A and B are shown apart, each in its own frame.
Chain A
């Protein structure tokens, strides 16, 4: 490898350099297109057209190369040129991007240049589908399902790429970038799930690129694809958009101001979106007021051009339910979601022999999310709130006597609990990328080196109550006390395109190394390595005259690593509380309960590995007599998914109740209770001092306390499938093109980790001794299955009728689920723990439980007792022995057996096919306005489909889990010069 690099470095000195210059004009009017960007992607060279439309790219080496010219508001154009000498004075024309263009596309376009599966969705397609929430675009991916309801009031809309499961883990791994700014969900404590896209402005998005295959090593901290959102940059007229749909309304305004000669461009945009959750009670309204200001310019430094842009964007939003007249007075729920993002990017075209291009980007994202909730409460007897953070026995104390008491006594009566969650995540990053592009003898070679520094943390107070005297169980846990997590990555990628006769082979190989600095935690600084490799072999370049017009093959392989979220690295401490003293209630409703508190936290696991996804993919792209076919087969294996579980340890406490107080000589109103912090023995004092102190009798209770641990899942999760997109081209007589896309997707996952479970509110057969056994189960302690598999076959057909002269485009999209089956699994590589049962007894009646219609039981693998927690006792053996020999043990062990609730849990559940249809129309009115209308599920389908396991019909009417809900929207766009 090193010798090749050395050789490549020597070659450039001998190559001839030429100049490529020309003019870019608007088609039809010959107006110069200022700010048009002319790019030679293979050489990493670029130039920006000036006010006269002129551009100059110097230092171009000889040979054939691709040129791309693009500008905001115009359709990009790509062509090939051959440089043998200086090429000057050529004029290129750009057509205005509107529906008069024959090439207008309203679906996701495959990125044919990419060696991995990647798609681009441009402005025309985004406007046609009237995207409100960025995550809506997943419907344009092969086999995608249209977005559900157009409501922004659900905060769980996140991306799901190449997965359908409701598991939040798969969306957590998808990276979302907005203008190069990575939106991270690592620093919020809401839990492990993908970043919510609802607070990202949707009206001024210019294009979105989705990489579902193996992405470049430039992208780290993801295991399931990358979504890159690009907002409008460049000179543009006033664009006003108004959108209305049953639940959501949007108004936006944007313009790209030309600051004159060499002044650059400022793009300013503002958007207001309101979304109501329930039309009948419009008080839960999510509001998004987004703004963005981007300044971009290009100038020369040391004779070489620099493209520079800096911007600020943000959002002020949230919702407020306090005005709802149906809520009880003074109760409310308010959520505030404010974000501000600052970013800059610099792209310096040095064009030297040892370096072509330097890119430097940086960003800072700060959010202020404050949610508050006020609830009305009451009780007829006093309640105890646990606030203590240290281990020990504590008795309830009124707040007025000691506000810092570990257990606070809340008297009987009525009160309000007002709570706040102050969440202020802060993310920053700085990214330096160096490109070196050279071609020699037709072989294009691009080397990319980069360094990326990111950090995330939180400045919020966390969850707290306004009035501690009225708060329930609570401990402070300020998010700002958790140290920032910083990450430094370095990567190198080599991209070579080798022409082999009439074919060409593109090879991309890269490696990324990451160091994550986790302060104040046992994890310290951790390193991970992700190699990625892509190859693309273009066998036949496009030739219209042949039947097989184009053919290329591609393959990829890569490893991507996902860092754990803050909730695992810095876990929230949790506290075990057990009532240990229960004196009788006094006449005014007061009872001085005492509790035992034990602080616990997710234990540090020195053997915790980072979750990895191994992905591989092969694909074929072909054009057969005008029919474009794109096929990709992918396989993804996620290893070591993060998994939290409980472990139990024996614990004994002292229980004292009113029985010990019955003979007490001290009258109730003159008593002061105290409890020994270590021993738990209760003493009653006489406040008048007349009667001596009395120590109360107690009984000892043997039980278990749990502690949470985190580990990696032993068994991998496998996702594999095939995606296809077949574009049949246009039937010119009816101006309609037909496109079919679909996916065959298979998912399988089982959990073979051994987990523990304790029946904490159960007794032994004497009705009084706490339960003494811990069950050790495979995968899950509840239910009878420990995994699932599913197979889905989806196919969508889109009919697009495009009449350029009428500036009209109409699409009818039929979404179909052709086959689907789900199945619950119960698998373990050791012995069998799940069995079929018959009758009432929980005894195995055979060995096969799949494919039978009957009830199934799951035994723990083994169990341990309080007296001997180290000795595992094989469960099934003991249970079957106890049936005939020890009926008392038999009834006590019975509690640990799980049983199915219905008799078809392990049957393959096959869904019969179901369909839905959407329509969309966009009509431009002259050059200044355009109107779009869409209706999802416009048949308002009442179709029913069958599920084979439960043998029931499921109705699609008003169901939101299978087909999109019936929904429609109308958008008006005005373009004013």
Chain B
């Protein structure tokens, strides 16, 4: 009799406890978040992957769209950044659509009060000239005393099937310089100039010396040293050798970019016709491209505008956050040929985009000071489709990095540099979205040339 009472008492208390605990919110409960992709002048398409990145944990939740562009992404409660990207070909031109929405909060009330996350998809074309590699993070010094970052460079590549004339092509970067810095242009999770079709070129921009713009054949590249075009490996063995006679150099002390540490004279091997010309309108003696997370882009001025006339025009000027030292010029998005938005590792969730969606819809993460570079992903389908590449493509790509949580490597698995050495012609990804188009490479590609 006593035993029965005891057991029933036990069962009642268990039920009570269970009942009470049922009301506690389960942090691992998945909510089916509804997402809709909205296209302004195109039709939605099925099969587009929608990613939701949890800004606190870094975990990615995915969903796929149906023919109306609706998707369901099962995700736990948290703060998210939603993004989607897709490429389609129409009448011989490749179009990419990108969209993202930051700071979407999914709470435990989602089931009671559900809402639809709408993502505006913006379309853009794939262009001839792309940024193949951007190396700005620097490397470790040999004696262990710190890092060296005066060996930056960028490589441009002809990704198309016809010759590309680089006349009037300018190299620029945005203000805010750093992705992790507080950005006064970001209001309510969006850039204030997002819908104005322009991007800011801060401090100054570089272009080829008069009459010396190179012409790239399909598959050809041009290396431009951003700092000293010399052999840095003699002192810093982890660095790169930029003293090749084919390379170009951002060297123009007469423009005002004359800081001795940043701009030693280029190697004697490099002809002076390879020296670029700078148009400087910021204060200071060095072009301040970020070593942590730059937003780099290249643009070509249209007919009737030259880099010189663009410099003289004061109507395109604007000050970032009204600060005197942060003068920048607006470059219309139509002029932009390619871009690369780099985010800084260690600031996940705090990095801000500076390039508008139509120019670059995503971002790639860089851990600086370790000799890593930002390198383009190979477009597997397009590259394998080229008949002449048969037997020359090298797979088992091992130059990805694993310092970031999900790792960063080329999803195609193709080792582009080894394949090029074997005589293949590589077509790189160009969806105007740095998340798809770039990865963090373990070593600057020039080290193995």
Show the binding face of A for B, using Cβ within 8 Å.
Answer: 328, 376, 378-384, 412-414, 579, 582-589, 591, 593, 655, 657-659, 661-662, 668, 701, 761-763, 765-768, 770, 840, 855, 887-888, 890-891, 894, 898-903
* Contact yes or no, A380 B232, CB < 8 A: yes
Chain A residues within 8 Å of B324, by CB: 898-899, 901
Chain B residues within 8 Å of A583, by CB: 265, 268
> Is B254 interfacial (CB-CB < 8 Å)?
yes
* Contact yes or no, B314 A887, CB < 8 A: yes
Interface string of B257-277 (1 = CB under 8 A from A): 010110011111111100001
Show the binding face of B for A, using Cβ within 8 Å.
Answer: 141-146, 148, 150-151, 228, 230-232, 234-236, 239, 243, 253-256, 258, 260-261, 264-272, 277-280, 283-285, 308, 311-314, 317-319, 321-324
A-B pairs, top 8 by smallest CB distance, nearest first, are A584-B268, A381-B264, A761-B256, A380-B232, A380-B235, A659-B272, A891-B314, A582-B265
Chain A residues within 8 Å of B255, by CB: 763, 767-768
Chain A residues within 8 Å of B142, by CB: 414
* Contact yes or no, A767 B143, CB < 8 A: no
Question: Whole-angstrom distance between the alpha carbons of A376 and B141 in the complex?
Answer: 12
Chain B residues within 8 Å of A888, by CB: 312
Choose one: A381, A384, A894, A900; the contact of B314 (CB below 8 Å).
A894
Choose one: A378, A382, A902; the contact of B141 (CB below 8 Å).
A378
Chain B residues within 8 Å of A591, by CB: 264-265
Cβ distance A330 to chain B, nearest Cβ, rounded Å: 10
By beta carbon, the residue of chain B nearest A376 is B145
By beta carbon, the residue of chain A nearest B323 is A901
Choose one: A328, A379, A587, A657; the contact of B267 (CB below 8 Å).
A587
Question: Whole-angstrom distance between the alpha carbons of A767 and B285 in the complex?
Answer: 14
Question: Whole-angstrom distance between the alpha carbons of A383 and B145 in the complex?
Answer: 19
Cβ distance A663 to chain B, nearest Cβ, rounded Å: 10
* Contact yes or no, A584 B314, CB < 8 A: no
Choose one: B266, B280, B312, B319; the contact of A584 (CB below 8 Å).
B266
Choose one: B265, B268, B272, B277; the contact of A668 (CB below 8 Å).
B268
Question: Whole-angstrom distance between the alpha carbons of A759 and B339 in the complex?
Answer: 32
CB-CB under 8 A for A380 and B279, given A591-B265, A855-B322: no
Question: Whole-angstrom distance between the alpha carbons of A954 and B333 in the complex?
Answer: 41
Chain A residues within 8 Å of B272, by CB: 657-659, 662
Chain B residues within 8 Å of A412, by CB: 234-235
* Contact yes or no, B277 A378, CB < 8 A: no
Chain B residues within 8 Å of A380, by CB: 148, 150-151, 228, 230-232, 234-236, 239, 264
* Contact yes or no, A584 B283, CB < 8 A: no
CB-CB under 8 A for A379 and B284, given A659-B272, A767-B255, A901-B322: no
Chain A residues within 8 Å of B261, by CB: 379, 383
Chain A residues within 8 Å of B322, by CB: 855, 899-903
Question: Whole-angstrom distance between the alpha carbons of A770 and B254 in the complex?
Answer: 8
* Contact yes or no, B143 A414, CB < 8 A: yes
Choose one: B234, B253, B313; the contact of A589 (CB below 8 Å).
B234
14 A-B contacts (beta carbon < 8 Å)? A380-B148, A380-B235, A380-B236, A413-B235, A584-B265, A584-B269, A584-B270, A585-B228, A657-B272, A763-B280, A767-B277, A768-B254, A887-B312, A899-B324
Chain A residues within 8 Å of B234, by CB: 380, 412, 588-589
Cβ distance B384 to chain A, nearest Cβ, rounded Å: 40
Chain B residues within 8 Å of A890, by CB: 314
Cβ distance A753 to chain B, nearest Cβ, rounded Å: 23
* Contact yes or no, B264 A585, CB < 8 A: yes
Choose one: B268, B279, B317; the contact of A586 (CB below 8 Å).
B268
Question: Whole-angstrom distance between the alpha carbons of A432 and B317 in the complex?
Answer: 70
* Contact yes or no, A767 B235, CB < 8 A: no
* Contact yes or no, A585 B266, CB < 8 A: yes
Question: Whole-angstrom distance between the alpha carbons of A414 and B143 in the complex?
Answer: 8
Question: Whole-angstrom distance between the alpha carbons of A602 and B125 in the complex?
Answer: 61
By beta carbon, the residue of chain B nearest A782 is B324
* Contact yes or no, A383 B285, CB < 8 A: no
By beta carbon, the residue of chain B nearest A701 is B254
Question: Whole-angstrom distance between the alpha carbons of A591 and B243 in the complex?
Answer: 13
By beta carbon, the residue of chain B nearest A762 is B256
By beta carbon, the residue of chain A nearest B229 is A585
Question: Whole-angstrom distance between the alpha carbons of A109 and B267 in the complex?
Answer: 74
Chain A residues within 8 Å of B150, by CB: 380
By beta carbon, the residue of chain B nearest A664 is B268
* Contact yes or no, B235 A579, CB < 8 A: no
* Contact yes or no, B145 A378, CB < 8 A: yes
Chain B residues within 8 Å of A899, by CB: 319, 322, 324
Question: Whole-angstrom distance between the alpha carbons of A903 and B235 in the complex?
Answer: 48
Cβ distance A583 to chain B, nearest Cβ, rounded Å: 6
Cβ distance A699 to chain B, nearest Cβ, rounded Å: 9
* Contact yes or no, A761 B258, CB < 8 A: yes
* Contact yes or no, A379 B235, CB < 8 A: yes
* Contact yes or no, B256 A383, CB < 8 A: no
Cβ distance B136 to chain A, nearest Cβ, rounded Å: 16
Chain A residues within 8 Å of B228, by CB: 380-381, 585
* Contact yes or no, A328 B260, CB < 8 A: no
* Contact yes or no, B230 A381, CB < 8 A: yes
Residue of A376, A589, A662, A762 with highest tally of chain B CB at under 10 A: A589
Residue of B141, B231, B258, B285 with highest tally of chain A CB at under 10 A: B231
Chain A residues within 8 Å of B270, by CB: 584
Question: Whole-angstrom distance between the alpha carbons of A762 and B280 in the complex?
Answer: 7
* Contact yes or no, A378 B148, CB < 8 A: yes
Chain A residues within 8 Å of B285, by CB: 761
Chain A residues within 8 Å of B308, by CB: 766-767
Question: Whole-angstrom distance between the alpha carbons of A657 and B150 in the complex?
Answer: 21
By beta carbon, the residue of chain B nearest A765 is B312
Chain B residues within 8 Å of A891, by CB: 312-314
Chain B residues within 8 Å of A658, by CB: 265-266, 268, 272
Cβ distance B305 to chain A, nearest Cβ, rounded Å: 15
CB-CB under 8 A for A840 and B317, given A585-B268, A761-B285, A768-B254: yes
Cβ distance B10 to chain A, nearest Cβ, rounded Å: 50
Chain A residues within 8 Å of B264, by CB: 380-382, 585, 591
* 15 further contact pairs, Cβ within 8 A, besides A382-B264, A888-B312, A891-B314: A380-B230, A380-B239, A384-B260, A585-B228, A587-B268, A589-B234, A657-B272, A658-B272, A761-B256, A761-B284, A767-B255, A767-B277, A767-B308, A855-B322, A899-B324
Question: Whole-angstrom distance between the alpha carbons of A657 and B236 in the complex?
Answer: 27
By beta carbon, the residue of chain A nearest B235 is A380
Question: Whole-angstrom distance between the alpha carbons of A589 and B148 in the complex?
Answer: 16
Question: Whole-angstrom distance between the alpha carbons of A902 and B320 in the complex?
Answer: 11
Chain B residues within 8 Å of A584, by CB: 265-270
Question: Whole-angstrom distance between the alpha carbons of A900 and B324 in the complex?
Answer: 7
By beta carbon, the residue of chain B nearest A897 is B324
Chain B residues within 8 Å of A384, by CB: 260
Question: Whole-angstrom distance between the alpha carbons of A655 and B318 in the complex?
Answer: 34
Cβ distance A900 to chain B, nearest Cβ, rounded Å: 8
Chain A residues within 8 Å of B265, by CB: 582-585, 591, 593, 657-658
Chain A residues within 8 Å of B280, by CB: 761-763, 767
Question: Whole-angstrom distance between the alpha carbons of A763 and B314 in the complex?
Answer: 15
Question: Whole-angstrom distance between the alpha carbons of A583 and B321 in the complex?
Answer: 40
Chain B residues within 8 Å of A887, by CB: 312, 314
* Contact yes or no, B278 A767, CB < 8 A: yes
Chain B residues within 8 Å of A414, by CB: 141-143, 145, 235
Chain A residues within 8 Å of B231, by CB: 380, 587, 589
Question: Whole-angstrom distance between the alpha carbons of A701 and B254 in the complex?
Answer: 9
Choose one: B258, B268, B269; the contact of A579 (CB below 8 Å).
B258
Question: Whole-angstrom distance between the alpha carbons of A582 and B230 in the complex?
Answer: 14
Chain B residues within 8 Å of A376, by CB: 143, 145
Chain A residues within 8 Å of B239, by CB: 380
Cβ distance A383 to chain B, nearest Cβ, rounded Å: 7
Cβ distance B276 to chain A, nearest Cβ, rounded Å: 12
Question: Whole-angstrom distance between the alpha carbons of A899 and B321 in the complex?
Answer: 12
Question: Whole-angstrom distance between the alpha carbons of A145 and B256 in the complex?
Answer: 47
Question: Whole-angstrom distance between the alpha carbons of A593 and B258 in the complex?
Answer: 13
Question: Whole-angstrom distance between the alpha carbons of A352 and B172 in the complex?
Answer: 90
